[in-house]
């Protein structure tokens, strides 16, 4: 270093600093979550994941025995949708006709009262508790 530059620091150009900061921010989003951390983020469940197997395939009479009377029945040909509610969740039970014409449960969908995805097994159990049915 020359005598005139002594004591001065070299400073990177501002655009290099901003590029490095931007890249660091972008790359931090690619980091895998730490399984040991206390902040756990649950993945949104698939609609029928966790559904009690005893609900899928049931006939309407069996659904009523299991969950009680639906709060709402909607007909969307060819399906019939029965809606059950508790203080924590909403459960939609989709009944479709079989080849014989008899209806059976083909699909379930659960959500929180705030319309966020919910676990169907937990919602079924909550509805059974709400309707005072044995779990």
pLDDT in tens, 25-67: 444 444 444 444 443 333 333 444 444 558 999 999 999 999 9
pLDDT higher than threshold 50 for residue 104: yes
More confident: 67 or 12: 67
Residue 3 confidence class, pLDDT cut points 50, 70, 90:
low
**Distance separating alpha carbons of residues 45 and 49, to the nearest angstrom:** 6
What pLDDT, on the 0 to 100 scale, is given for residue 132? 80
Kindly report whether the global pTM for this prediction surpasses the value 0.85.
Answer: no
User: What number of other Cβ atoms are within 10 A of residue 3's Cβ?
Assistant: 6
Q: How far apart are CA 104 and CA 10, in angstroms?
A: 75
The Cα 104–Cα 95 span in angstroms is 5
User: Residue 91 in contact with residue 108, Cβ under 8 Å?
Assistant: yes
SS (H, E, C) 71-110: CEEEEECCEEEEEEECCCEEEEEEEEECCCCCEEEEEEEE
Q: Is the pLDDT of residue 80 over 50?
A: yes
Pairwise CA distance, residues 103 & 36, whole Å: 46
Q: What are the helix (H) ranges across the chain?
A: 14-28, 60-67, 120-130
Cis bond leading into 78, ω under 30°?
yes
């Amino acid at each position: 270093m020359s005598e005139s530059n002594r004591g001065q620091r070299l400073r990177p150009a501002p655009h290099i600093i901003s590029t490095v900061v931007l890249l660091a921010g972008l790359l931090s989003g690619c980091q895998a979550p730490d399984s040991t951390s206390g902040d756990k983020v649950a993945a949104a469940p698939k609609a029928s994941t966790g559904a009690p197997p005893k609900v899928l395939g049931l006939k309407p009479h069996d659904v009523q025995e299991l969950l009680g009377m639906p709060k709402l029945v909607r007909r969307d040909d060819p399906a019939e949708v029965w809606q059950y509610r508790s203080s924590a969740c909403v459960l939609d039970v989709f009944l479709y006709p079989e080849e014989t014409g008899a209806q059976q449960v083909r699909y379930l969908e659960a959500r929180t009262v705030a319309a966020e995805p919910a676990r169907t097994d937990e919602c079924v159990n909550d509805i059974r508790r709400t309707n005072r049915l044995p779990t």
